[in-house]
Amino acid sequence: MNLKQLKFVKINPAGNITLLYDIRNINKDDIQKISKISMGNLNLYAEQVGFINDTHLQMMGGEFCGNACRSFAAYLAFCDINFQREKNYKITCSGEDLELNIDVRSSKIDNVFFSKIKMPKNISIQTVKLELQKSEIIEICEVIFQGIVHFVIELNTDKKVINRIRDYCEKKKYSAFGVMFFNYKTMHMKPYVEVQGFNGVWENSCGSGTTAVGYYLKKYKNIDFAKIIQPGGWLEVSHENNEVFIDGPVEIVAEGTSYINI
C-alpha cells in the first residue's frame, strides 16, 4: 500500500456531488482506483470524480460530464480574485473535442454560484424499440453525444429497463450511458448513469441527461425551455440560436487533503 495525499475540492451541482482532484501529482494509471475509493460512503463520498489542471477536466472514466464542467468553472470563479458578478470561463473536458464556454454568475452566498454551459451538440436522436419480454416492446429515445449516450423514457424507474439498455449498450460498445426516467407532466426526472469500469449510480442530478431531455422535448414536444426537477435539485435546459444550454446552482462544499492508500 502506498499512501497518497491528494488535494481535492468537493462540489454540489444540484445534488450531483462531485469531487475534483488536482491531476498534476497523480499517475493516470491510478485514476480509477482513486475514484472508486473516494466515492465510497466511508471516504469522501461522491457520485462522480474528475481530475483537473488549469483548464482541463478529465473524468474518471474518460466520459463527458456537464455538471462536472459547471462545477469546475464555478471553482475557477471561487478562486479568481478578479471575479465579480459574472465571468465566462473556457475549459476542455474528456469525451469532447471542442472548447467549452461556461458563464458563471455570483449569488447572495459567497460559495454558491450559477453556472450556465453551452453543451456539446448531440450526434443523433432517434427512437429505438427494445424487447423487455417476449410480449413487451418498449420505445425509448436514444440521444447520442460524443462522450456518453442517454436514453429518455417516460416511465417510472424499472431495473428491467436498465438491464435491457445495458445489454443494448454492450452490443453497441458504448462506454458510458444514462437512463433518464422522465415524467413529462411534472417535469421530474430520475437519472441513472453507468460508466465502464464503475458501478451504476442513481444520481441526484445529471447535466448531460438534462440536455438529452431538452433534445427530447424539442423534437417530440416542441418545447424550447424547461426547468427539470431532479432528486437533488433543479436544472434549466434551453434552446437558444440552435445551441443547447443547461443552467443551475453550484455550491463549493469543501476543499482540503484526502489520504488514500492504493
Catalytic choice (65, 69, 93, 141): 65
Cα 176 to its chain centre, rounded Å, is 11
Residue 136: the pLDDT is 84
Residue 74: the pLDDT is 99
Torsion angle, alpha carbons of 42, 48, 52, 58, to 10: 130
Max CA separation in the chain (angstroms): 62
C-alpha cell belonging to residue 25 = 501529482
Amino acid letter, 175? S
Superfamily for domain range 124-247: Diaminopimelate Epimerase; Chain A, domain 1 (3.10.310.10)
Looking at the DSSP assignment, which residues form a beta bridge with residue 229?
188, 234
Res. 161 pLDDT band, cuts 50 70 90: very high
Residue 150: the pLDDT is 98
With the C-alpha atoms ordered 61, 32, 56, 104, is the resulting torsion angle positive or negative? Answer: positive
CATH architecture, domain defined by 3-118+248-261: Roll (3.10)
Looking at the DSSP assignment, which residues form a beta bridge with residue 18?
11, 48
Residue 188: the pLDDT is 98
Q: What percent of the chain has pLDDT over 90?
A: 89
Residue 132: the pLDDT is 82
Instruction: Tell me the per-residue pLDDT of 56-97, one tens digit each, with 9 for 90 and over.
Output: 999 999 999 999 999 999 999 999 999 999 999 999 999 899
Distances (CA, A) of 15 to 18, 136, 229: 9, 34, 11
Q: What is the 3-state secondary structure (H, E, C) of the chain?
A: CCEEEEEEEEEECCCCCEEEEEHHHCCHHHHHHHHHHHHCCCCCCCCEEEEECCCEEEECCCCCCHHHHHHHHHHHHHHCCCCCCEEEEEEEECCEEEEEEEEEEECCCCCEEEEEEECCCCCEEEEEEEEEECCEEEEEEEEECCCCEEEEECCCCCHHHHHHHHHHHHHHCCCEEEEEEEECCCCEEEEEEEECCCCCEECCCCHHHHHHHHHHHHHHHCCCEEEEEECCEEEEEEEECCEEEEEEEEEEEEEEEEEEEC
* Mean local confidence (pLDDT), 30-57: 95
Total number of residues shown for the chain: 262
Res. 134 pLDDT band, cuts 50 70 90: confident
Residue 54 pLDDT > 90: yes
Res. 1 pLDDT band, cuts 50 70 90: confident
With the C-alpha atoms ordered 255, 24, 148, 146, is the resulting torsion angle positive or negative? Answer: positive
Residue 135 pLDDT > 80: no
Instruction: Tell me the per-residue pLDDT of 102-131, one tens digit each, with 9 for 90 and over.
Output: 999 999 999 999 999 999 899 999 999 998
pTM: 0.91
The ranges assigned to domains in the chain are 3-118+248-261, 124-247
Q: What percent of the chain has pLDDT over 70?
A: 100
Residue 251 pLDDT > 80: yes
Residue 71: the pLDDT is 99
Say whether 206 is catalytic.
yes
Instruction: Tell me the per-residue pLDDT of 210-235, one tens digit each, with 9 for 90 and over.
Output: 999 999 999 999 999 999 999 999 99
Calculate ∠ Cα 180-175-208, nearest 5°: 35
Say whether 169 is catalytic.
no
* Mean local confidence (pLDDT), 31-46: 94
Q: 177 φ, ψ to 5°?
A: -145, 160
Domains 3-118+248-261 and 124-247 share a fold: yes
